[in-house]
Amino acid sequence: MNAIQSIGATGVDFEKPWLKILSTYRKPRIGRSLFELAATLLPFVLFWAAAWGLMHLGYWFGVILVVPAAGCLLRLFMVQHDCGHGSFFGRRRLDDWTGRMIGVLTLTPYDYWRRAHSEHHASAGNLDERGVGDITTLTVAEYAALTRWGRLCYRLYRHPLVMFGIGPAWLFLFKQRLPFGMMKSGALPWASTMATNAAIAAFAALLIWAIGILPFLLVHLPIVLLAGSAGVWLFYVQHQFEDTHWSKPPDWKFQYAAMHGASHYDLPQPLRWMTGNIGMHHIHHLSSRIPFYRLPEVLHAHPELGKLGRITLKDSLRCVNLILWDETSQKLVSLQEARLSVRTAETHRTMG
Has residue 332 been placed in a domain? no
Has residue 141 been placed in a domain? no
Has residue 9 been placed in a domain? no
- List, for residues 160-184, the tens digit of each pLDDT value: 999 999 999 999 999 888 877 665 6
3-state SS of 61-82? Answer: HHHHHHHHHHHHHHHHHHHHHH
Has residue 310 been placed in a domain? yes
Instruction: Say what the pLDDT of residue 345 is.
Output: 57
Has residue 302 been placed in a domain? yes
- List, for residues 52-86, the tens digit of each pLDDT value: 999 888 778 888 999 999 999 999 999 999 999 99
In the predicted model, residues of the chain with pLDDT beneath 70 are 1-11, 181-185, 342-352
Number of domains the chain contains: 1
Q: What is d(CA 105, CA 41) in angstroms, rounded to the nearest whole number?
A: 10
Has residue 269 been placed in a domain? yes
Has residue 115 been placed in a domain? yes
- Residue 167: which domain range? 24-135+159-321
Q: What is d(CA 118, CA 100) in angstroms, rounded to the nearest whole number?
A: 16
Has residue 240 been placed in a domain? yes
- List, for residues 277-313, the tens digit of each pLDDT value: 999 999 999 999 999 999 999 999 999 999 999 999 9
